[in-house]
Chains A and B, each alone.
Chain A
Amino acid sequence: MRDVAIVSVAQSHHRRSAEELNEVEMIQPVIRAALDGVGASISDIDFTCSGSSDYLAGQAFSFVMTLDAVGAWPPIVESHVEMDGAWALYEAWLKIQTGAADTAFVYSYSKASPGDLPRVMSRMLDPYYAGPLWPDSVAYAGLQARAMLDAGVTTERRMAEVAHRNREAARNNPNAQVVGSPSVDELLATPMLSDPLRVHDCPPISDGGVAVVLAAGDRARDWAERPAWIRGIDHRIDGHQPGARDLTSAPSVALAAQRAGVDGSFDVAEVHAPFTHQEQLVLDGLGLGDDVDVNPSGGALAANPMMAAGLIRLGEVATRIMDGSAGRGVAHATAGHLLQQNLVCVLEGGD
């Protein structure tokens, strides 16, 4: 395996609606900042891969427009996934492993604000059994929360504690959208939004994006004083029928963690759990000890730009390794409803 590292990370100031900007204008400063972080231009990049969704953009092949923000002339080697950018990073990592590239640029973004996100999200479901029912994404997540509550796997208080801890942590995150939280008792006194979920159990709706530079071997050492080396990365998927899954566990998290080499101790973990009840499923799947700092950024509960919130988790861990505040970390990204698909990445400092 080639040694590949994240050497630069930039993200937007996530917010409810970047209505004065289109997607290209929103992501361009982020792209520029990530490249500036290593003093590179797009001509120094061997492979570019992005993640976005036409359903959110309301436009076919919307990622082609966004390439204007990268600079695609003279022609560049480029790919795209209709997935969170964490999977675009996985593709770029594979490309570097093949030897076809030594450097890669990965970015992802979305504006959820133009549409009704909980309704748009229903279009991810199968078109025969679930899609025609137009289930909104919050009620859909509630099915998983209820299963966990019924099984005694979590409690409403524990869910509120997750909301409180993440949003208080977000006070130290200049890019966060939801910062600070009422007390757990105050949260529990609020009405249900979509029983058993209260507002605090749900992620914010966000516009935003993230960009990352990857490099192999000596190129990474040239570009960064402390590269964040990718020591393991894997992604796995559970079945798509919610009624045929045990919703009180996330086997694909555990399998991806095992394949990515999640063992030993970690300084930091960033997990992509949009709804409060999901954090525990991810942490149980990762099998982390109690001494790990979980989601110092505030996680997806503090800012949840679709297609970007997963890659942001990798970026948050890498940023802490690059600035020397962490030596070893694990990042998790999820895709689909109810933690159906999961990616796990182990990042380390050192040589």
Chain B
Amino acid sequence: MAVDDSAGGEGLLRAPLVIEYPFNRTTGPVVGAFVTALRDRRVLGIRGADGRVVCPPVEYDPQTGAPLDEMVEVGTSGTITSWSWVSQVREGQPLQTPHALALIQLDGADTAMLHVVDAPGPESVSTGARVRIRWSDEPTGAITDIACFELDGGAS
């Protein structure tokens, strides 16, 4: 069916509307253990039903749904498994300069974590590149206790 939805656009009134939702969420035993360990500059994964280490950890096995509880410490360095370049930085992002958004498989883990990589430009980032955690100066028990990852070899 044809729709006539034309309307005049002159003299439109506009007003800003900013909405925030302040919450204090509880994390539970698995996410809670992960973020608590970050505060101590350690990273935890969890062993899945098939023996693979999932990091960041999940409460239930991604394949079988079985509850998981065996936390496993993984490394603070890892490998980029995929990435994209953030040329337009937005409010709230961990780095306020252009950077890479990346999936990073930490040493000892079998899955990859989402985070950002500080790098001078997309030409310096590649899948398979080695990266290490740059810790926040003031950890609070949050994913942002990892300030970002930096390229091994000091490209950043």
Chain A contact residues, CB within 8 Å of chain B:
8-13, 18-21, 25-26, 29-30, 33-34, 36-37, 58, 114, 116, 118-119, 127-130, 132-136, 139-147, 150, 192-197, 239, 241-244, 247
Task: Give the chain A neighbours of B85 by CB distance below 8 A.
Answer: 139, 142, 192, 194-195
- Please list 26 pairs of residues, one from A and one from B, whose beta carbons are closer than 8 Å in the complex, sorted by A's number: A20-B7, A25-B7, A29-B5, A33-B2, A114-B17, A128-B25, A129-B56, A129-B114, A133-B116, A133-B144, A134-B91, A136-B88, A136-B90, A143-B103, A146-B84, A147-B81, A147-B82, A192-B85, A194-B87, A195-B87, A241-B58, A242-B114, A243-B103, A243-B113, A243-B114, A247-B82
Bound CA–CA A30/B4 (angstroms): 9
Q: A19-B12, A118-B90, A134-B91 are in contact. Are A243 and B81 (CB under 8 A)?
A: yes
Q: How far is the CA of A194 from the CA of B2 in the complex (A)?
A: 37
Binary A-proximity of B124-140 (CB < 8 A = 1, otherwise 0) = 00010000000000000
In the complex, besides A19-B9, A33-B2, A135-B114, 16 extra interface pairs with C-beta distance below 8 angstroms are A8-B1, A21-B7, A25-B7, A29-B3, A37-B1, A118-B90, A129-B56, A132-B92, A133-B116, A140-B101, A143-B101, A146-B84, A150-B127, A195-B85, A244-B54, A247-B82
- B interface residues, Cβ below 8 angstroms from A: 1-5, 7-9, 12, 17, 19, 23, 25, 27, 31, 35, 54, 56, 58, 62, 81-88, 90-94, 101-105, 111-116, 122, 127, 142-144
CB distance from B100 to the nearest CB of A (A): 9
CB–CB A139/B84 < 8 A: yes
Q: Which residues of B contact A26 (CB under 8 A)?
A: 5
A130 to B102, CA, bound (A): 11
Q: Which of B2, B9, B27, B82 has the most CB of A within 10 A?
A: B82
Residues in chain A near residue B35, CB distance under 8 A: 128
| Chain B positions within 8 Å of A150 at CB level | 82, 127
9 tightest CB-CB pairs across the interface, nearest first? A142-B84, A243-B112, A134-B92, A195-B85, A33-B1, A244-B111, A10-B1, A20-B9, A139-B101
Asked if A133 meets B81 with Cβ closer than 8 Å, knowing A20-B9, A34-B1, the reply is no
Which chain A positions have C-beta within 8 A of B92?
119, 132, 134
Complex CA–CA separation, A119 to B27 (angstroms): 24
- In the docked arrangement, what's the CA distance between A244 and B110, Å? 8
Partner of A196, one of B84, B102, B142: B84
Residues of chain B with a CB closer than 8 A to A9's CB: 1
The distance in angstroms between the C-alpha atoms of A58 and B83, with both chains bound, is 31
* Complex: A132 Cα to B114 Cα, angstroms: 11
Query: Inside 8 A of A128's CB, which chain B residues have their CB?
Result: 25, 27, 31, 35, 56, 143
Our count of residue pairs bridging A and B at CB distance below 8 angstroms stands at: 141
Residues A145 and B1 in contact, CB atoms below 8 Å apart:
no
* Distance in angstroms between the alpha carbons of A150 and B9 in the assembled complex: 47
Question: A29-B3, A29-B5 in contact; A132/B142 too (CB < 8 A)?
Answer: yes
Q: Across the interface, which residues of A come within 8 angstroms of B81, CB to CB?
A: 147, 243
CA–CA, A242 and B33, complex, Å: 21
Residues on A with beta carbons closer than 8 Å to the beta carbon of B104: 243
**Which A residues are CB-close (under 8 A) to B114?**
129-130, 133, 135, 242-243
Contact status B93-A145, CB under 8 Å: no
Query: B91–A129 contact, CB under 8 A?
Result: no
Chain B residues near A139 (CB-CB < 8 A): 84-86, 101
Give the chain B neighbours of A140 by CB distance below 8 A. Answer: 84, 101
Q: Which residues of the partner chain A approach B8 to less than 8 Å between Cβ atoms?
A: 20
Which of A36, A129, A193 meets B1, CB within 8 Å?
A36
Residues on the B chain within 8 Å of A129, using CB: 31, 56, 113-114, 143
Q: A37 contacts which chain B residues (CB < 8 A)?
A: 1
Check A135–B5 contact: CB distance below 8 A: no
CA distance A37 to B2 in the complex (A): 10
Write the nearest CB–CB distance from B59 to chain A, whole angstroms.
11
- How many angstroms between the C-alpha atoms of A299 and B115 in the bound complex? 31
| CB nearest neighbor in A for B110 | A244
Interface centre among A133, A136, A192, A197 (most CB of B within 10 A): A133
The answer on a CB contact under 8 Å between A146 and B83 is: yes
Closest to B115 in A: A133
CB pair A58 B7 closer than 8 Å: no
